[in-house]
Amino acid sequence: MTSEAVKESILEADFDAIVAAGDRVEPRDWMPEGYRKTLVRQIAQHAHSEIIGMQPEGNWITRAPSLRRKAILLAKVQDEAGHGLYLYSACETLGVSRDELTRLLIAGKQKYSSIFNYPTLSYADVGTIGWLVDGAAICNQVPLCRTSFGPYGRAMIRICKEESFHQRQGYELLMTMMRGTDEQRAMVQESVDRFWWPALMMFGPPDEESPNTAQSMAWGIKRNTNDDLRQRFVDMTVPQAEALGVTLPDPDLRWNDERGHHDFGQPDWDEFMQVVKGNGPCNAQRLVHRRRAHEDGAWVREAATAFAAKASA
């Protein structure tokens, strides 16, 4: 072995020991290149999801039915912007700038969660997104608070606290509508029918079709498999649906006494692949909107850069 190779094998052993002990890897620590790349891809995708996710709900801010509902929705959408910024910052500790990540997003070279490529057709969708989409995000994200990369885990702790507010505001909105007129109850049911399957897709493909899961778990980036998290979400959501008085649109959904979990049907994975490939109902619209917002903000970035240069001079 050359002295370089010896040095690297010592560093790698240190890294493995940190991960095995469940400690945090920090930005200045040595890490395998594959670990760094996987994290950049995952954190960037997560950051982009927060930012693109502002669009479907932002669609309803000007049409919220009361001042109170408008204030809640504004606060929620602003939280999502904050989540995006925490996560871009976490990603920057791995040596990729937010500018570069934004460029990759608007060039269509990095992905965001498939769920945000579905339209928000009624105001009830604001409630359903809070309940089901933020609910699924919580299931995904709570274990990430213990992820092996320090900046990512710490960002997730803060984000999860806000996500639980998001979920409750959605549930409270739906509960209010369910106590209203028949028309309002029908609106809630129609919205849940549209979002249930896309929400289940948020956990990613079934484990046997998720080739990166094993490596991500070995590195302590992921703590649970896609199917585990999907099961946890279904078990958590079924009693909430009962309390709400809505029907989840899955004829195979039933309690399994032997397993101690609910059995449930599979989403349409062909539809999922189409949405991931860019052919969902709103993919093009979301990117056009994000690109335009980025261009419209160019003068702010220029002014801030000029101001910073002047201040430091």
Q: Using CB under 5 A, list all residues that contact Fe ion.
A: 50, 80, 83, 134, 163, 166
For residues 185 and 286, which CB has a smaller minimum distance to Fe ion in the complex?
A: 286
Lookup: tokens for 244: 């709400």
DSSP 266: P
Per-position b or e across 244-275, b if 16+ CB within 10 A of its CB: bebebebeebeeeeeeeebebeebeeeebebb
CB of 131 to Fe ion, least distance (A): 11
Residue 256 phi, psi dihedral angles, 5° rounding: -115, 110
For residues 31 and 124, which CB has a smaller minimum distance to Fe ion in the complex?
A: 124
CB of 166 to Fe ion, least distance (A): 4
For residues 163 and 250, which CB has a smaller minimum distance to Fe ion in the complex?
A: 163
Which residue in 35, 31, 40 sits closest to 100, CA to CA?
Answer: 40
CB within 8 Å of 295: residues ≥ 6 apart: none
The length of the chain, given as a count of residues: 313
Long-range Cβ contacts of 4-10 (<8 Å, 24+ apart) = none
CB of 76 to Fe ion, least distance (A): 7
For residues 138 and 273, which CB has a smaller minimum distance to Fe ion in the complex?
A: 138
Q: 3-class SS at 66?
A: coil
CB of 32 to Fe ion, least distance (A): 29
For residues 85 and 282, which CB has a smaller minimum distance to Fe ion in the complex?
A: 85
CB of 277 to Fe ion, least distance (A): 24
